[in-house]
Amino acid sequence: MKAIILAGGKGTRGKPYTEFFPKAMTPINERPLIDYIVRYLISFSFISEIIIVSDFSGLGGQIKNYYNNTKTKKKISFVQDSQSGTAGDLLHLGKQLNEDSEFVLWFVDNLCAIDLKKMYKRFKETKSVACIATRTKRKEETGFAVVENGIIKKFKEKPIMKLPMSECLGIYILGKDIIKRIKRKSKKQKINLSFDILQELSKEGKIGAYDIEDKEWIDAESPTLLERNQKEVKKIIKQMEP
């Protein structure tokens, strides 16, 4: 099975930092964000190849330069971001991804030591076309208070809150029908995976959900957010170490 890392976003939430380096190269403990994901994916024996999609003619070139000097480069290939949307990019992978393939899709701003073996098992059990990592609770970044009749009775500092709906994370396992579905939309200039493809599949009951339960996850949107959540980030990257 191949794993695709989408690392071609403009990183608007990470400005001004992402004006100098792509989000994928955000430093964490002297290593770039993407390297934790690459090494974690490689640790699964069923992942045969990692395809990184980015704008290598622009700031994304820093990603390719980084891996030119590492041992892991043999398992990595690079595809230029087509600027045709998150689903459109999958059509431009050519021979590297065919219609008979199942594959992992990982958005580069997701840090989580998710158990891909269990997620793949869920994908197979539900006989779905896609399986999305989800969570039903999260640790809040701010403090909360218990208020009765306008009086604060108790503080809860950064509590873990149960979510009213499952939150979708940027880690997917996608099945054989996905590429065929995207091809049907190929006349569109930009094809969004969530809105144009997965939304239709959900109405057909063909998307499975894999709840990460108590696993920590963080949206690594910017160096500022990572700095603010150092304790959680350190815990996650430790879990992701092979």
Give pLDDT, residue 61.
Answer: 93
| Residue-level length of the chain | 242
Assess if residue 195 is contained within a domain.
yes
Assess if residue 140 is contained within a domain.
no
Sign of the CA dihedral with 35 first, then 40, 45, and 50 last = negative
What does the pLDDT average to over 17-21?
Answer: 80
What does the pLDDT average to over 72-101?
Answer: 82
Assess if residue 146 is contained within a domain.
no
Assess if residue 159 is contained within a domain.
no
User: For residues 200 and 191, what is the distance between their CA atoms, to the nearest angstrom?
Assistant: 13
Q: Is the model's pLDDT at 31 over the cut of 80? A: yes
**pLDDT band at 64; cut points 50, 70, 90:** very high
Q: Is the model's pLDDT at 100 over the cut of 70? A: no
Assess if residue 142 is contained within a domain.
no
107-141 pLDDT, tens digit each: 999 999 999 999 999 999 999 999 999 999 988 87
Give pLDDT, residue 11.
Answer: 61
Closest of 107, 78, 115 to residue 193, by C-alpha: 107
Assess if residue 156 is contained within a domain.
no
Residues 6 or more apart in contact with residue 221 via CB below 8 angstroms: 13, 14, 23, 109
Three-state helix/strand/coil letters over 80-113: ECCCCHHHHHHHCCHHHCCCCCCEEEEECCEEEC
Helix, strand, coil abundance in the chain, percent, nearest 5: 35, 30, 35
Q: Is the model's pLDDT at 23 over the cut of 80? A: yes
Tokens encoding 233: 């980030």
Assess if residue 152 is contained within a domain.
no
SS3 134: strand
Number of domains in the chain: 1
The model's pTM: 0.91
Give pLDDT, residue 94.
Answer: 66
Give pLDDT, residue 143.
Answer: 86
Range of the domain at 76: 2-135+166-240
184-240 pLDDT, tens digit each: 988 888 899 999 999 999 999 999 999 999 999 999 988 888 998 899 999 999 999
- Looking at every residue in the chain, the average pLDDT score rounds to 90
SS3 213: coil
DSSP 57: T
* CATH number of the domain where residue 234 is located: 3.90.550.10
* Long-range CB contacts (within 8 A, 24+) of 45-48: 46/1, 46/117, 46/120, 47/1, 47/2, 47/3, 47/104, 47/116, 48/1, 48/2, 48/75
**pLDDT band at 47; cut points 50, 70, 90:** very high
162-171 pLDDT, tens digit each: 999 999 999 9
Assess if residue 158 is contained within a domain.
no
Give the whole-number percent of the chain exceeding pLDDT 90. Answer: 64
